[in-house]
Chain A
Amino acid sequence: MGSNGKIIRKKDLNFWQRMYIPEIAKGLRLTITQMFKPKVTYQYPDEKFVPPPSFRGRPVLVEEQGVERCVACGLCSRVCPALAIEVQASETELEKERYPIKFEINMVRCIFCGFCEEVCPEEAIVMSNEYELVFTSQEEAIFGKEKLLTPIEKLRPRLEWLKNNR
């Protein structure tokens, strides 16, 4: 478009250019070469994508020797920009003195920013590689400790990645 709003057409195209045939051939060549390249499409859900450790899936609590690392300090809850996390602390006989008697993440609110993981002084909440989140109600989307606690063995790649990249 010209500066005055008028449509300007190129009038000096030759015959072949006006036929578009070479351009069509160019496009087809690209399509055909792609057809013989290795396929990257996953046949989800039969075939599942395993994300790299840098992936930020749903946040989970690290379970070490049968107990959560979490000391219920509430910093994840404070830093969460979406107010997805609710923590209620209680006293334990263990050396860490306090533990979360209730730890709930509202997955409808969670935006997967990873701030909770970043702020955690105990490396007790980390972003897992799980991305399949299906709920049939809002109430179901509130994950309690039973869904959040994950054995540390499963989270090794992420913890390793955090050690090297933070």
Chain B
Amino acid sequence: MARMTIDGKEYDVDPKLTIIQAAAENGIEIPHFCWHPSLSVAGNCRMCLVEVEKMPKLAIACATQVADGMIVKTESERAIKARQAVMEFLLINHPLDCPICDEAGECKLQDYSYKYSIGYSRFEEDKVHKPKRVELGPHVMLDVERCIMCSRCIRFSDEIAKQPVLTFTQRGDHVVLTTFPGTKLDNPYSMNVIELCPVGALTSTDFRFKSRVWEMSSTESVCPGCARGCNMQIWVRNNQILRQTPRLNEEVNSYWMCDAGRLNTYKPVNSPQRLKAPMVRKDGALVEVGWDEAIAKAASELKSFKKNELAALASAYATNEDNYVFLRFVREVLGTKNLDFVRHVVEGDEDELLIRADKTPNSTGLKLLGVGPMEGGRDLTGIIQGIKEGVIRALYILEDDVASVPEIAAVLPNLQLLVVHSSIQNKTTEYADVVLSASTYAERHGTFTNFLGRVQRIRPAVATLEHDRALDGFAMSRWDKFASHNDRWGRPMKRDARPTWRILTALAGALGTKFRYNTSEEVFKEITERVPAFKGLSYAKLGSGGVTIQLREQAAVPAS
């Protein structure tokens, strides 16, 4: 341990650290642009200059290792003067286009201008003009004029994404960020450079000009795109998801997230194909009906089959809570032993950083809960075979487009009854007799268990008909808080969707078994009491980062 002094206070720190790290560990923020905790040190922005006693010149805190007895002053007159000078240099050629810049509101340069700059410009000459609206790749747009040459994006591409295509060309104030000839920034993690960029030079093609950042609310959630379960923020305005950004969790995804997770997961939530209400097949066509009618129809139809004629498919896209209630529903209400779930593994589509071949967020959770064929029951292959032979005549499917698997799609027309929970019109709902409109990952509380056994919370960011943003504790933007009936923006579209566990609770009631759940937290509490792997957990304990549980423990059969 090295004993050092920062701004008059003594701290014991690890001598391997740099000044900026040591300060950060003790809650002191030294302003910086180019330094990033997960990237190599470049030391080119000069913003982190601090005064170190007995050093003749100011030192950059990001590249100076701490030493025993070191005395650092971050707020001395020399340090402040140096910071102001650095800010002035950076702002000389930085365009004053904050009003049209997507980064405004979360821009490091903008924030630091308020905090560390002199507040006015002495520069009267023309600013340097450089290329604008350059497409670096399919998801990233570059405005070179705004670039402050911190090289974070270059280091990210080289070190983390392992696609070294970015570089600086030219010198002095003519420096231009560009890709090497014939290359594009098109790696699966390319969009991380958008958050890394301390200014608005790199912006998202998808989110470009959609909203100012202060107009949105953000909700802590987890990406449902693969078994990794990257922590993320869902950004919502007017009840619509506009973007998803990674949230720091060193145990899961660090600062990063893949492009597919950011884009492909939220698009179905906003899709015009979303179901607006439950549907029932009448005279060959699916007709929107109320919940009571849909539940009654499902109940009466399910009653007309023998137990061994029924089969059920759980879903690794649904939460632990949903699958647990489904497990109870299948055992106690349907009484069938034929239960399994469809695995969506894309062999080869994985890498060492984040992306997993298993494209479902909760397959580990299903295994821990014990979702699978019961003794004497059929597994997925058995169920398909059974449907083909006409032994299984009714199928109950949770949120999963199982018809995307050709073998399953081929046998679905043989069924006499198909009940589906789905949030969107898809191939499976085309075959369905009763479609119960389920809410998506962005509209419900719940937990996913990732491939490492980390149980993580998802939280609702988009309101459905059953929600009220204020009463249900949603993240609220200024617009959400003050909307009234005569504002067009106060009347966003809300869909009539419910979380799967709630639908199952209602259906179980209609079939004569009472499940006593009012919130997903109550379901989770029961899981922790009955499934050993989840023992001792609670929503409060999971917090925002989740808890890793032992995977070796055997999943137990919940006693009812």
Contacts and interface: CB of A to CB of B under 8 A. Distances in A.
B120 interface: no
A58 B64 CA distance: 59
A72 interface: yes
B487 A71 contact: no
A89 B99 CA distance: 11
- In the complex, which of the residues A72, A89, A108 has the most CB atoms of chain B within 10 Å of its own CB atom? A89
Interface in B33-91: none
A138 B486 contact: yes
Contacts of A96: 100
Contact of B488 (A72, A75, A78, A142): A142
Contacts of B212: 73-74, 78
B488 A104 contact: yes
B11 interface: no
A145 interface: no
B170 to A, nearest CB: 24
B209 interface: yes
B430 to A, nearest CB: 35
B180 interface: no
Nearest to A120: B99
B299 to A, nearest CB: 42
Interface string B449-492: 00000000000000000000000000000110010001111000
Interface in A99-136: 104, 106, 108-109, 121-122
Contacts of A90: 209
Contacts of A78: 212, 214-215
Contacts of B100: 71-73, 96-98
B486 A89 contact: no
A18 to B, nearest CB: 60
Interface string B476-519: 00110010001111000000000000000000000000000000
Interface in A54-92: 71-75, 77-78, 83, 86, 89-91
A89 B210 CA distance: 6
Contact of B99 (A71, A138, A139, A142): A71
A85 B99 CA distance: 16
Contacts of A75: 99
A77 B477 CA distance: 13
A74 B479 CA distance: 13
Nearest to A91: B209
A123 to B, nearest CB: 12
Contacts of B214: 78
Contact of A86 (B99, B208, B209, B488): B488
A104 B479 CA distance: 14
B133 interface: yes
Contacts of B215: 74, 77-78
Contacts of B488: 86, 104, 106, 142
Nearest to A73: B99
Contacts of B210: 89
A74 B98 CA distance: 11
A72 B209 contact: yes
B482 A83 contact: yes
Interface in B406-464: none
Nearest to B212: A74
Nearest to A144: B488
A93 to B, nearest CB: 10
Interface in B190-223: 208-212, 214-215
A72 to B, nearest CB: 7
A5 B504 CA distance: 75
A90 B209 CA distance: 6
A117 to B, nearest CB: 15
A108 B488 CA distance: 12
B209 A98 contact: yes
A86 to B, nearest CB: 5
B215 to A, nearest CB: 7
A121 B100 CA distance: 10
Contacts of B99: 71, 73, 75, 121-122
A50 B209 CA distance: 39
Contacts of A106: 486-488
Contacts of A142: 488
A68 to B, nearest CB: 14
A91 B212 CA distance: 14
A113 B226 CA distance: 51
B489 A86 contact: yes
A110 to B, nearest CB: 12
A83 B486 CA distance: 12
A75 B214 CA distance: 10
A139 B488 CA distance: 9
B209 A108 contact: no
Contacts of A139: 486
B202 to A, nearest CB: 15
B479 A83 contact: yes
A96 to B, nearest CB: 7
Contacts of A72: 100, 209
A134 B486 CA distance: 16
A158 to B, nearest CB: 21
A73 to B, nearest CB: 3
Interface of A: 71-75, 77-78, 83, 86, 89-91, 96-98, 104, 106, 108-109, 121-122, 138-139, 141-142
Instruction: Return the 7 tightest CB-CB contacts between A and B, nearest first.
Output: A73-B99, A138-B486, A89-B209, A74-B212, A121-B99, A71-B100, A98-B209
29 contacts: A71-B99, A72-B100, A72-B209, A73-B99, A73-B212, A74-B215, A77-B215, A78-B212, A78-B215, A83-B482, A83-B487, A86-B487, A86-B488, A89-B211, A90-B209, A91-B208, A91-B209, A97-B133, A97-B209, A98-B100, A104-B488, A106-B486, A106-B487, A106-B488, A109-B487, A122-B99, A139-B486, A141-B486, A142-B488
Given A77-B215, A83-B482, 18 more contacts: A71-B100, A72-B100, A73-B99, A73-B212, A83-B478, A83-B479, A86-B489, A89-B210, A89-B211, A91-B208, A97-B100, A97-B133, A97-B209, A98-B100, A104-B488, A121-B99, A122-B99, A141-B486
